[in-house]
Chain A
Amino acid sequence: MSEQPKFKWIGTRPIRPDGVDKVTGRAQFGADRLPAGCLQGRVLRSPHAHARIVRIDTSRALTLDGVKAVITGADLPDLSDEAGGEGPTDFYDLSRNVLARDKALYHGHAVAAVAATTATLAEQALGLIEVEYEALPHVLDVLEAMDPGAPVLHDTLRTKGVEPKPEQPSNVASRFSLERGDLDAGFAAADVVVEGEFRTETVHQGYIEPHAAVAEVGEDDRATIWVCTQGPFMVRNYTARVLDLPLGSIKVIPSEIGGGFGGKTTVYVAPLALALARKAGRPVRAVMTREEVFRATGPAPGSVLRVKIGATRDGKLTAGHAWLAYEAGAFPGSPVNAGCMTILAPYAFENFLIEGYDVVVNKPKTAAYRAPGAPMAAYAAESLMDELAEKLAIDPIELRLANAAREGVHSTYGPRFRTIGLEETLEQARSHPHWKAPLGKNEGRGIAVGFWFNGGMNSSAAVHLNEDGTATVVAGTPDIGGSRASLALMCAEELDLDPDRIRPIIADTETIGYNDSTGGSRVTFATGMAVIEATREVVGQLKERAAKIFDVEPDQVEWREGAAHPANGATGTHEPLTLEALAQQAGRTGGPISAESTLTARGVGPGFAAHIVDVVVDPETGKVDVTRYTTIQDAGKAVHPSYVEGQMQGGAVQGIGWALNEEYVYDERGELQNAGFLDYRMPVALDVPMIDTVIVEVPNPRHPHGVRGVGEVPIVPPLPAIANAIHSATGLRLRHAPMSPPRVLAALEEASG
């Protein structure tokens, strides 16, 4: 393990640069913009889970005074030649998710949209649109949807990844597999085998800000979209594709974003707002209601997993077999592949077979949700690891340590691990006072680990030096949880300048080079890398300017303590030149000083976390209360520790909600019954204790500041950690999440006969 580099600014906790705007209400979010003459956009949604759209008549709506535009699927380009695309985004499907064509595929599927002078009129107009539906049988459950007799959502869908290629359509969009070694031999070598079937229900990201977009079009047909999104460049590309417009004719300005967790990595209302604005010749603001957010934006999939793990008597894992089926929602594209890649990843396995099925059902198309696909996979695998430890009478931390992935281990998903911190994380868990603290009545303790790859991808960033020696950092990755602070700190470290003198901004699509979306825990890692590169380029320019003034060679100038110093045998006596002095003279020494760096970030550092949780199970009601929670996570390097802790705490509490309460509830007609915060109950402050954090720092040697990325791992361990704690409290293995009072009570009653 390499020595931790010495930092001056990295690891400090300055006030975030956008903080004052966000505590005073000045920060502008998606719905906060309202240009003069702006129309209100509203969307008509399918009342059916699955129906053929026979006819849509918008004429009555258009007669209503104040209604300026109505659009239906017929107004959007067909994109038939894009059908079945192999790329990460299928624009044929995306277009049909944005606005249904011949079929509505879920309760809430957009069918038409209206722009009117007031919200009241727009709402009224929706009621005047006549849609004739022919209801079709629907299917909601992943296993039922895989059944050969199930209602088929897409007549053209043929399962990918199986030989021979099926001739009949089905709801199974693809099969993915990972395999190594000899599975039979592996299980034959096992002294103990544990196995089980696990289920999780559909859950939502639950960001507090509903999707919102404001579209304006000029007389030259150039468009501007103001939108809350994790990816302004994604919105530009997706909107251009869905509306068949030149990408360069659209400018996207990212507003502040009120949470996303992966759910704002695609488009819903932005293309509709723009299509309406183009039709009406007026700006259009389209804001979803909370009900629409639940009914029609990406939840995380429900899943079924069948997993089997074998080990020798002394606790060495010999084989793993995992079968995963994830609900994609109405169009293919669940994160089942990531589920497959993560499910056994924390451990060294020589023999395994992992197969995953992506299955369409009549629910909204799933979207990314924090470590997409991994929490349900961990639920199964880490519950079984706990059971294995129990059967082998080995401490669960020791069992994990004995098999833990470490440098050189060939991961189950492909590459060999380089420097990773799973062992360090588990060792911190073992020595944490929580692990040995006494438990009360009906109280139990569980532990589980989680893994996430972390992301790299494309980022651009610029650093401008201002005339007074302050600096501006320009990034194109929306700040969803404090990344302005981490980017400013990284720039500060390289310039050796107080971060308070650095203003980071999030730019629009015309102000900075291309950026992939904020997601995959990649911003501090990848955009940070671009900021560091750009800052180093600026430092290079500063040294050149100083060399001119000193009348020495550039390599005879050293940058430290925010100033250029003569070095390497530079002759003569020169006072150091401060950043401020060099900035003031820039116009006379070669012009303004700035640099932009663009990169495809390589060298991601995988992240691991271990969570310890105590729960009390009420034997009368089955209610599970979390009484103590500790998260331990390898951050690589915590650039701004407060916001690293915040990711750890927030992810843990989202995981607690997923584990204990949250689920989509459908009726027999396939209608979502709990599309609101009252009935889709996310944790409130009273539901959770303080979330203790331990940041482990095993630097990522392939990042200049050692960064790994921290946003996603924290949601991976909570489901199994809580399941294991419930087992510790009750002796029961809960294998269906959420482990809500009715399910826990039923299990308690079944156990007591």
Chain B
Amino acid sequence: MSGRKLHVSFSVNGEPTELLCEPQQTLLDVLRDELRLTGTKEGCATGDCGACSVTLDGTLVCSCLVLAPEVDGSEVGTVEGMAVHSEPGNPKLHPLQRKFLEHAALQCGICTPGFLVAAGSLLEHNSDPSEAEVRYWLSGNLCRCTGYDKIVRAVLDTAAELREAT
């Protein structure tokens, strides 16, 4: 079953990478255990909780439902790529990351990377989402700590701030 490993090359957060993986390993497995990008979390491995949310060529996906060999030649975006490290001493959080902190939109923090990636994807598609649209878009992400209130507020507030800035 383990058999011969496959060679896969793709880019993660803009950086080209290549690795060998078993055919049945998921994108989530290789992000976490091969590339050690552990910001992407496993909550269920069945696509129900969204903790493993990443973007694949710009589309929001559950990385647990994508086989690693499938991403050959693709662009993958993870939570580790959201903050911009521009100069020493001044790494810039993504506005969503900053708003999540200001709104206390996380408690334990395990679902947070998935929510940030999913919310980032929402704001790419819709710069002025309603509360219902935010709730609908984020319904693929489970949070058991916050009751979603502060997460939804943080996303709406980020959207408002980004609209003001443009």
| Chain A interfacial positions (CB closer than 8 Å to B) | 13, 15-16, 18-20, 22-29, 31-32, 34, 118-121, 124, 205-210, 256-261, 287, 289-290, 480-482, 640, 642-643, 645-647, 649-654, 676-678, 682-686, 688, 690-691
Contact = CB atoms under 8 A, between A and B. Distances in A.
Contacts of B36: 34
Interface of B: 1-2, 22, 24, 29, 32-33, 36-46, 48-49, 51, 78-80, 82-83, 93, 97, 100-104, 106-113, 116, 131-132, 134-136, 138-153
Contact of B97 (A24, A206, A650): A24
A261 B144 contact: yes
Contacts of A124: 1
A208 B97 CA distance: 20
21 contacts: A20-B101, A23-B97, A24-B82, A24-B93, A25-B113, A210-B43, A258-B43, A258-B110, A259-B108, A260-B108, A480-B107, A480-B108, A645-B150, A646-B107, A649-B147, A650-B145, A677-B44, A678-B46, A685-B151, A690-B149, A690-B153
Contacts of B82: 24
Contact of B48 (A16, A31, A678): A678
Contacts of B45: 289-290
A22 B109 contact: yes
Contact of A207 (B22, B29, B108, B136): B108
B144 A650 contact: yes
Given A15-B101, A258-B41, A23 B148 contact: no
A717 to B, nearest CB: 14
B152 A685 contact: yes
B161 to A, nearest CB: 16
A259 B48 contact: no
A653 B148 contact: yes
B6 to A, nearest CB: 13
B42 A210 contact: yes
Contacts of A20: 93, 97, 101
Contacts of B144: 205-208, 259, 261, 650, 654, 682
A290 B44 contact: yes
Contacts of A654: 144, 147
A-B interface, 5 closest residue pairs, ranked by CB to CB distance from nearest: A25-B39, A258-B110, A653-B147, A22-B109, A642-B104
A22 B1 contact: no
Contacts of B108: 207-209, 256-260, 480-481
Most chain A CB within a 10 A radius of its CB, from B22, B44, B116:
B44
A262 B147 CA distance: 17
B150 A649 contact: yes
B61 to A, nearest CB: 17
Nearest to A65: B2
A290 B152 CA distance: 26
Given A25-B80, A481-B108, A16 B49 contact: no
Given A25-B38, A480-B107, A685-B139, A208 B49 contact: yes
Nearest to A647: B107
A676 to B, nearest CB: 6
A652 B148 CA distance: 11
A683 B1 CA distance: 38
Contacts of A640: 104
Given A258-B41, A259-B108, A481-B145, A686 B101 contact: no
Given A23-B93, A256-B109, A684 B139 contact: yes
Contacts of A118: 2, 22
B150 A685 contact: no
Given A290-B43, A649-B147, A209 B110 contact: yes
A56 to B, nearest CB: 23
Contacts of A690: 131, 149, 152-153
Contact of B104 (A16, A32, A205, A683): A16
B55 to A, nearest CB: 14
A166 B141 CA distance: 51
Contacts of B48: 290, 676-678
Given A208-B110, A684-B148, 14 more contacts: A19-B106, A22-B109, A25-B37, A25-B80, A259-B145, A261-B144, A290-B46, A643-B104, A653-B147, A654-B144, A682-B142, A685-B151, A690-B131, A690-B149
